[in-house]
Amino acid sequence: RARSPHPARAMLSRARLLSTTASALRPRVAAAAPVAAPLQPPLGRRGKTSIKRGDEKIKAQLVKQLQAAVLKGWTPEEVKNHLSMEIGSRGIGVLEEVNSLSLDVEEIFYNSPAGVLYDQALKYEAGTAIVDSGALAVKSGKKTGRSPLDKRVVFEEESADDVWWGKVNMKLDIKSFLTNRERAVDYLNTRERLYIVDGFGGWDEDYRVPVRVITSRAYHALFMQNMLVPPTEKELNECFQSPFVIFNAGVFPCNRQTEGMTSSTSVAVSFKRREMVILGTQYAGEMKKGVFTIMNYLMPLMPKRDLPPADRALPLHASANIGPDNDVSIFFGLSGTGKTTLSADPKRELIGDDEHVWHAKGVFNIEGGCYAKTIGMTREQEPEIYDAIRFGSVLENVVFDEATHKVDYDDVSITENTRVAYPLKFIPNARIP
């Protein structure tokens, strides 16, 4: 390709391409205001996280401003930063990718800050409140725990011999999966707004899996932003390709008459299509365990499936911490047996509380956060976890005083499975790569 004689003009051609592509999509940044001329080089403001359709005026102004940038002699980096400032560096690309999934909604919130998702949840999701610690208290509806009997794996030739079929991994035919997928997409298309979260399953760059969550609830988005490994802007632009997509339409039930369904709830995964569809349950833990299901399938085949088992990766349902001599302790156990509590040791650094991969070079955490049970919690017994319940954390199905918003962790009138999801960085002695 011939190189443009002027670096800013080369960047401008890219900007025009984005603007032309966006014309059919008609996106605009929510609450964006026209930028007064003359423009100054950008100061690095954060890109907007809400993208709307239908404002041609702002796009036209953007193109005009970028044309002016050529005359002002801005560097390509300055032009790129300005584009990011106006519409978000991935805004147009995300819209294109979402449209390719047959989703077409008025507004998209993409990797939004906790404050934005708090605001959305408080506005649109009944039963949501900010409790006295600053955490967001939410309700998951009828389902307050996972539904393992409603989990299905699509039977596909490519993966048939790699799945241990039985009561845990129950088969589903592709026709039923696509029926559920269409039902989920149809429901999501009835929403005025959707929330999209991009992140990774796994901290190790050689093993991690890109994951995209598309959901109708801000609570789900904040939960998964806490639980997935957070990507950098550079990683999103350069490394985030062919993500595993989770369609969370859990507010809407599946059709019981669809072959393979045993209730109004369905959690189904297709490894070939790299997709998961959730219907009939709003419990956020289904997404978390969905990512673990994906990693349980992919990790034993890495780095190469023809290697001996000892040279491949082993996914573990376990917590882990590390001592001052880099000695790693692994705590195995089913959900609710104490993995989170045991690994939160003030004398050792936390690696993770639930899901890990062990390979030839060591152990890495699959998740970017922790998901702890809160029943009977006190600061005296579990200080690290108790103090992590603050702004940015998600409290599920807890009971709190309506006047003071103080949480009663002993109240199990909604469920005994009360939980909190928080990012690893909320634990002071967490070992974060």
Q: Which residues are catalytic?
A: 146, 289, 317, 335, 339-340, 354, 419
Residue 50 CA: distances (Å) to CA of 88, 170, 193? 9, 38, 9
Q: Give the phi and the psi of residue 229 in degrees, each rounded to 5.
A: -70, 120
Buried residues in 273-300 as b, exposed as e (16+ CB within 10 A): bbbbbbbbbbbbbbbbbbbbbbbbbbbe
Short-list 244, 242, 261, 271, CA closest to 157: 271
Residue 363 CA: distances (Å) to CA of 324, 330, 351? 16, 9, 9
Q: Does residue 19 sit in helix, strand or coil?
A: helix
Using CB atoms within 10 Å of the CB of residue 390, give its burial: 0 to 12 exposed, 13 to 18 middle, 19+ buried: middle
Q: Residue 288 is inside which H or E element, if any? A: helix 285-298
User: Could you write out the DSSP letters of every residue in 73-106?
Assistant: T--HHHHHHHHHHHH-TTHHHHHHHHHHTT---S
Residue 247 tokens, joined:
């369609």
**How many residues are there in the chain?**
433
- Give helix then strand counts, H and E, for the chain: 11, 22
Where are the alpha helices (H) located in 310-427, listed in sequence order?
A: 339-343, 383-387
Q: Residues 6 or more apart from 238 whose CB is under 8 A from it? A: none
Residue 152 tokens, joined:
């299905």
The shares of helix, strand and coil residues in the chain, as percent rounded to the nearest 5, are 30, 25, 45
CA 96-98-99 angle, 5° bins? 65
Q: Check: CB of residue 74 under 8 Å from CB of residue 8.
A: yes
Q: How far apart are the first and last CA of the chain?
A: 39
